[in-house]
Amino acid sequence: MRSDANISQHYADDLSACAEIVNRGDPDRFAAVMAASPATRTVLFPIYALNVEVARAPWVTEESMIAEMRLQWWRDALAEIKEGKDTRRHNVVSPLASVLDEHAAGVLDLLVEARRWDIYKDPFQDFKHFERYLDQTSGALMYVAARALGDIQENIARDVGVAMGLSNWFRAIPALEARNRVPLVDGRHEALIDLARSGLERLERARRSRRVVNRHVGQAFFAAWQTETILKQVINQPCRVADGVLGISAFSQKSSLMFRAFSGRW
């Protein structure tokens, strides 16, 4: 039988592995988590590590069947958590099982299913399809992360998540197009501006409800620290999307995260 000390060491090692996965695969989100409290990090890193692994799965191979199998592996792991079974030993799944309940595991299962779009080269059917993709990926992730920290109104978390997902999508467009993907339903500048405005409206709507969000829970929203700036850049200069020059300076990044860490505002 393993001692409590060994179990504790395994857990610490798993958390370190999760943090490293996020640091390598999603450095902006890693920086946001590091601006949160240490107790919050132990909850968020396993959730975000799963997101990195799932988001990466469709892109590491040109074989659609292999990509499907990779995503199914994560769905199977989430099913174990959802059903309360003994989970497979894995440096992400093991700590993840300690921070998710049945509902959260089900939401993340839908996130993995939505990522199947990334495997193939079919365009989005229409704007509603694109919006649903953002909600089931970025919106769902933000909801699960915030809910793991405490009580949260789902619509608030999903609004922040979709707005953040849209800003990240704008930044990813040059790379997606380089891989022969069709990332937008309408790529005209006017359409980009309208999309960015819709994301900014979601973020502002969520912020109007800031008073009902517990300060501890609100740390999950630190991840959206660049969202407002990026969406405003698209509105003011939509050409920056194709040029791949969205984002803020290193100095602004550091000061923005320091402000959130000290104020708790998002």
pLDDT in tens, 26-53: 999 999 999 999 999 999 999 999 999 9
pLDDT (tens digit per residue) in 200-217:
999 999 999 999 999 999
Helix segments in 60-153, DSSP class H: 64-82, 93-97, 102-114, 127-134, 140-149
Q: Token digits for 46?
A: 């396993």
Average pLDDT over residues 244-250: 90
- pLDDT score of 2: 47
Contact present, 234 and 241 (Cβ < 8 Å):
yes
pLDDT at 6: 56
Averaged over 75-102, what is the pLDDT?
94
Q: What is the pLDDT of residue 78?
A: 98
Average pLDDT over all residues of the chain: 94
Cα–Cα distance measured from residue 27 to residue 57, given in angstroms and rounded to the nearest whole number: 18
Q: How far apart are CA 243 and CA 50, in angstroms?
A: 30
Torsion over CA of 218, 220, 222 and 227, rounded to 10 degrees? -110
- pTM: predicted TM-score of the whole model, two decimal places: 0.93
Sorted by where each begins, the domain ranges of the chain are 1-120, 122-266
What's the CA gap between 71 and 53, in Å, rounded? 9
> Is the separation of the CB atoms in 170 and 230 below 8 Å?
yes
Q: 122-266, what's its fold?
A: Farnesyl Diphosphate Synthase (1.10.600)
Token reading at 50:
């799963």
